[in-house]
Amino acid sequence: MRIVSLPNALMAFTLMVPVASVAEDTDIELLRAAIDELRADYDARIMELERRLAVAEQNAAQASYTARSPAPSQAQSSGQAAFNPAIGVVFQGTLWGVDGPGTDSEGFAVGETELIMNANVDDKFAAYLTAALAFEDGESELEIEEAWVEATALPAGFGARFGRISSAFGYLNAKHSHQWDFADLPLPYQAFFDGRYLDNGVRLTWLAPTDTYMELGGEILQGEGDPSGLAASTLFANVGGDLGSVGSWLAGASYLERDNMASLTGAHLIWKWSPDGNWKDRNFVFQTEYFDSGDDGVDGGWYAQAVYQPFARWRFGARADGLQTNADDPRRYSVMFDWSNSEFSRLRLQFTQDRTGAEDGSEWGLQYIHSIGAHGAHEF
């Protein structure tokens, strides 16, 4: 280690000062400019290199993807399991209480557990199965709600579905119970179909090539009277569109003829709203249906409901439903609110005031709807 003595350092300093003072200012400026230029040049070169690197990376990524099919890239798997259908299970149950004339009861009921499976059969057919598992009167029951095959490659806007289907009559009939906004179906569905109208048969639809949605269709169904017959048929038409970017609507009419029963005509109107069309946080749905029957006992039925989601997770709804009979006109008024932690779980509280009997009654229910596995997109 060399130690510089103070005198030596001083001498070096005094020697340097004159040299510095002699040097011209322009030289320093030139040097500075040269260094700046060098730095800028390097910056530019580094940036260019980074850009080239990014492009090279991108090209490499692209090269590795051109080998793959541009169709939806599912995880590649070679086993049979890769062709497994989408499977979903929906769990439902209700804690309920009734306070009516002569009855005052409460209990816990595990509702239908829905098992849903679907997949494309091949490039021209898709198949779908919904089975409802229920426990009633001490026995486990398995009911096939829907089991149909759909033709997916028909030309000119035609569609066909055959097997066990939920009829396209009305609006709510096609919805599974986990999609309902209230714990039970409105009175007209209970009176005319004893729930939903599910039957075996064939459906044909045609969608018009217009900007306004226009669907026409018909069904030929087995009917309930004759187990081997083709004794029921429907015709239906639906139109719909948007109202600006915030609203959309669907209106429809349907006609049902069944053996040994009076014909039924239905009309429905659905209007949905959300700010800017952004559904996630805030939205509103109004929905009404009217059934008219040639039946002597029950002339018709109707319901109207509104459901509002003021912010994510919470929804509030009100519904009025009723029947027109030659004896009296039963009415019900329901309110509900529900909380959904995600799209897959929902807890609902519902109160219903019942004016169906001679005296008023009331019901309450606390319902859960939980869904696991694959869950297909919901229709409008």
Residues that bind another protein (CB under 8 A): 47, 50-51, 54-55, 58, 61-62, 64-65, 68, 70-75, 123, 150, 152-155, 157-159, 205-215, 238-242, 245, 248-250, 272, 274, 276-281, 312-313, 341-344, 372, 376-380
Minimal distance in Å, beta carbon 358 to another protein?
Answer: 42
Per the rule left: phi > 0, alpha: psi between -120 and 50, beta: everything else, 363 is: beta
- Which SS3 state, helix, strand or coil, does residue 24 take? coil
Structure tokens at 122: 């091949």
Q: What DSSP line would sit under 133-192, residue for residue?
A: EEEETTEEEEEEEEEEEEE---STTEEEEEEEEE--SSSGGGS-GGG-SSSS--HHHHHH
Minimal distance in Å, beta carbon 354 to another protein?
Answer: 32
Minimal distance in Å, beta carbon 312 to another protein?
Answer: 5
DSSP 372: E
Q: Would you say 351 or 380 has its CB closer to another protein?
A: 380
Q: Would you say 158 or 316 has its CB closer to another protein?
A: 158
Q: Would you say 74 or 105 has its CB closer to another protein?
A: 74
Minimal distance in Å, beta carbon 226 to another protein?
Answer: 31
Structure tokens at 305: 């409901």
Q: Would you say 38 or 55 has its CB closer to another protein?
A: 55
Contact 247, 273 (CB under 8 A): yes
Minimal distance in Å, beta carbon 157 to another protein?
Answer: 5
Contact 323, 309 (CB under 8 A): no
Q: Would you say 114 or 184 has its CB closer to another protein?
A: 114
Minimal distance in Å, beta carbon 99 to another protein?
Answer: 37
**Residues 6 or more apart from 198 whose CB is under 8 A from it?**
145, 146, 164, 165, 166, 167
Q: Which residues is 151 bridged to in the sheet?
A: 125, 160
Q: Would you say 66 or 228 has its CB closer to another protein?
A: 66
